[in-house]
Homo-oligomer: A and B are copies of this chain.
Amino acid sequence: MNIGIVGLGLIGGSLGLELRGLGHHVLGLSRQKQTCEVAQEHGIVNQASIEPSILRMCNLVFLCPPVGQIVSVAQQIEPYLNTQAILTDVGSVKGAICQTLTKLWPRFVGGHPMAGTAQSGILAAEPDLFRHRPYVLTPIPETDPQALALVSQIVDSLGAKRYICSPAAHDRAVAWISHLPVIVSAALIRAGGQETDPELAQLAQSLASTGFRDTSRVGGGNPELGRMMAEFNQDELLFCLKIYQQELNALIEKISIGDWPGLENYLAMTKQLREHYSLD
């Protein structure tokens, strides 16, 4: 199959590598001439170009720009798509994108491969990035069933764990497990930064260990990604944050009044709840 990849970063590049390995003919589109050259040299695509006409022969096109640019990039490439082509994206928030792009292109299927590394950019591309990782597809009632079937088949061929749900369910789920943790963790780092005694702040920094390291990791991540996830998933994130705030207040209350058995019960329940998650 001829497969187009629009946006050759970590996700686009890794898709290219894996799909080429599966025998597809992969055509890349990037804004940067240099990225096209790197993608060709590293065998990430069969051919790459800065001209959207490269997509004309594609049966399937993956939209892989940053989430904030997916709709505008789709509008730019739409005139160049083969009328039978199936379009899919890799955006980390799905509500608005699925509504808008299904209207723009009836053979659109929303998708979100939940894979990544600490790296970004074409040179970070890895085959196997999607293997055993969740890949969520988010059809809406208007979605073309044939398009969904084809994208499903490709996702399965990547070795990913495929999930199918509504865009709204996806956006709530990722707010809980991905976007809320970023905010919770950022507030932790910034709270410690409010310590006014410099010697004490330095002592805390020296004593910090795995507990602080892990709890603060996602709050110390890419600020632009953090901003985008909040901007594009604002309502679901605020919903989760309100509930988080209530839980935090309940804990502060228990600690304030010295309800130690109540606190221990609470922590016993969190220990148990956490075991329900699929954590490697």
Q: Interface on A for B, CB 8 Å cutoff?
A: 114, 133-134, 136, 161, 163, 165, 169-170, 172-174, 176-178, 180-195, 197, 199-200, 203-224, 226-227, 230-231, 234, 237-238, 240-249, 251-252, 255-256, 258, 260, 263-271, 273-280
Contact = CB atoms under 8 A, between A and B. Distances in A.
Nearest to A183: B251
A176 B190 contact: no
A62 B8 CA distance: 59
B218 A214 contact: yes
Contacts of A264: 223-224, 226-227
Given A177-B209, A213-B280, A231-B263, 6 more contacts: A169-B197, A169-B199, A169-B203, A193-B269, A193-B273, A214-B218
B191 A278 contact: no
A194 B180 CA distance: 14
Top 10 closest pairs, chain A to chain B, by CB? A220-B274, A223-B267, A181-B215, A227-B264, A187-B247, A214-B214, A191-B244, A173-B204, A213-B279, A189-B270
A181 B252 contact: no
Copies in the complex: 2
B214 A217 contact: yes
Contacts of A221: 267, 271
Nearest to A252: B241
A80 B8 CA distance: 73
A169 to B, nearest CB: 5
Contacts of A278: 205-208
Given A210-B280, A212-B279, A264-B227, A180 B173 contact: no
A216 B277 contact: yes
Contact of A178 (B173, B183, B212): B212
A95 B211 CA distance: 22
A118 to B, nearest CB: 10
Contacts of A210: 280
Given A200-B169, A252-B238, A277-B205, A190 B269 contact: yes
